[in-house]
Amino acid sequence: MHFETKAIHTGLDSPDNTGSVVPAIYPSTIFEIDADGRKKGDFHYTRLDNPNRRQLEHLISTLEEGEGALAFSSGVAAASAVMQSLQPGDHILVPEDIYAGNRMLIQNILIPWGLEVDFIRMDQTSRIEQALRDNTRLIWIETPSNPLMRISDISAICKLASDRGILTCVDNTWPTPVNQLPLKLGADLVVHSTTKYFGGHSDLLGGAVAARKKDDFFERVRTVQWTGGAVPSPADCWMLCRSTRTLPYRMRGHNEHAMILARFLKDQARVSEVYYPGLDSHPGHATARKQMSGFGGMISFLIDGNAGDAIKIVGRSELIKRATSLGGVESTWEHRRSSEGENSVTPENMIRISVGLEHPEDLIEDLAKALR
């Protein structure tokens, strides 16, 4: 089946037989035990498993073309579960411009817990090879990276890692499985902030891990999921399944509109640089073409000026909302450095825009006014 069909028809299986086409929400935290005891695989208690969570996990693993998936209460909780499935003393490699929330997670919790971490540039595979150590267990990939839009070569990195028995995990939040399928390119794991495009309407928080194989490491992440307890509510799982039905069509709109806006921005006098992997001028364009089927809805650009000038430009929009995060139907933008805080490596004159599904001509009019 094609992606669009799978997005609509997967995860509809309910444990009742009412014939309802849309599954019910199962708010119950407890499930009745058989008179002859509890059977393996039965529902028991909602932190461990819940029908709505099972539906969502089935849907995400199907779309990422993996053997299994696990849902979490946020994207950071999903990342945390993967990293906590390692052992203290293990070494991991992460991108120098890793998503700022994951940087805080690593610095505030996982390094004190005992992980050894190197932050490196991942758009040149040779740098990764140089940074490997005997205790390297995991390479974390984020492509396009946030907010510098660097492109890492997923299959080259996964080849290098698997030859040495090192795990690879790709943060696929920005491209989504509509634009990029890391498990097909050799990655072991994919993580998501489903808060973004899966949710798509800026009204829920969630995260997920999908795995190419249901192996021991996957079972370890599952143990962290239900033991650590950062699980999503049944209502959020239901809402995420509902939103995911339209994911491929929304992504098509985000891809198309971002391309139009990136081309527009490139021609503006106040704009000195546009970072969008769909532009021929992007240094990672060739790799992006190889591994992505669409270039996504996120654009970063530099303005000719300083932080104050960038904040002023963002302040002049009337249609584009000033907000952090991304992936909603409405366009948003922000002075990125202000959102990232301490240790940010983002240039001070950078603006990041999440291109929504409004008509692109209305967005261009708003941008033109703000840049005037």
Ligand X SMILES: *Cc1c(COP(=O)(O)O)cnc(C)c1O
Which residues form the interface with ligand X (CB under 6 A)? Answer: 74-76, 99, 101-102, 142, 146, 171, 173-174, 193, 195-196, 205, 207
Our CB check for ligand X shows the closer of 76 and 224 to be 76
- Least separation in angstroms between CB 298 and ligand X: 9
Distance separating alpha carbons of residues 85 and 104, to the nearest angstrom: 18
DSSP 121-164: --SSHHHHHHH--TTEEEEEEESS-TTT-----HHHHHHHHHHT
* Per annotation, catalytic residue among 49, 97, 123, 171: 171
- Give the nearer residue to ligand X in terms of CB position, either 49 or 171: 171
Indicate the residue among 211 and 371 with the shorter CB distance to ligand X: 211
196 versus 337: smaller Cβ distance to ligand X: 196
Which residue of the set 103, 150, 196, 222 is catalytic? 196
Nearest residue to 366 (alpha-carbon basis) of 317, 328, 333, 302: 317
How far lies 333's CA from each of 73, 120, 217, 301, in Å? 25, 27, 38, 11
* Cβ distance to ligand X smaller for residue 171 or 236: 171
Instruction: Select 11 or 175, whichever has its Cβ closest to ligand X.
Output: 175
DSSP 192: E
- The answer to whether the beta carbons of residues 140 and 95 sit under 8 Å apart is yes
Cα gap 210→274, rounded to integer Å: 32
Catalytic-role residue among 26, 99, 197, 275: 99
Q: How far is the CB of 37 from ligand X (least distance, A)?
A: 38
Q: Shortest distance, CB of residue 329 to ligand X, whole angstroms? A: 17
DSSP 33: P
- Known catalytic membership, residue 47: yes
In angstroms, rounded to a whole number, what is the distance separating the alpha carbons of residues 113 and 119? Answer: 17
**Active site includes 53?**
no
Tokens of 308: 């104050």
CA-to-CA distance for 224 and 148, rounded, in angstroms?
31
Helix (H, G, I), strand (E, B) or coil at 235: helix
Beta bridge partners of 274: 301
What whole-number distance in Å separates Cα of residue 305 and Cα of residue 336?
Answer: 15
Are residues 337 and 297 in contact, defined by beta-carbon separation less than 8 angstroms? no
Q: Does residue 99 have an active-site annotation?
A: yes
- Minimal distance, residue 40 CB to ligand X, in Å: 32
- Minimum CB separation from ligand X for residue 44, in Å? 27
Q: Which residues contact 68 (CB under 8 A, 6 or more apart)?
A: 57, 61, 210, 211, 214, 218
Select which of 47, 54, 184, 321 is catalytic. Answer: 47
d(CA 309, CA 338): 13
Decide whether 189 or 371 has the Cβ nearer to ligand X.
Answer: 189
Q: What is the CA radius of gyration of the chain?
A: 21
- To the nearest whole angstrom, how small is the minimum distance from the Cβ of residue 164 to ligand X? 25
In the complex, what is the shortest distance from the CB of residue 270 to ligand X, in angstroms, rounded to a whole number?
26
Residue nearest to ligand X (CB): 75
Let me know if 40 is a catalytic residue. no
What are phi and psi for residue 250, nearest 5 degrees? Answer: -65, -45
Q: Which residues pair with 70 in a beta bridge?
A: 209
**Coil, strand or helix at 277:** coil
By annotation, the residues acting in catalysis are 47, 99, 171, 196
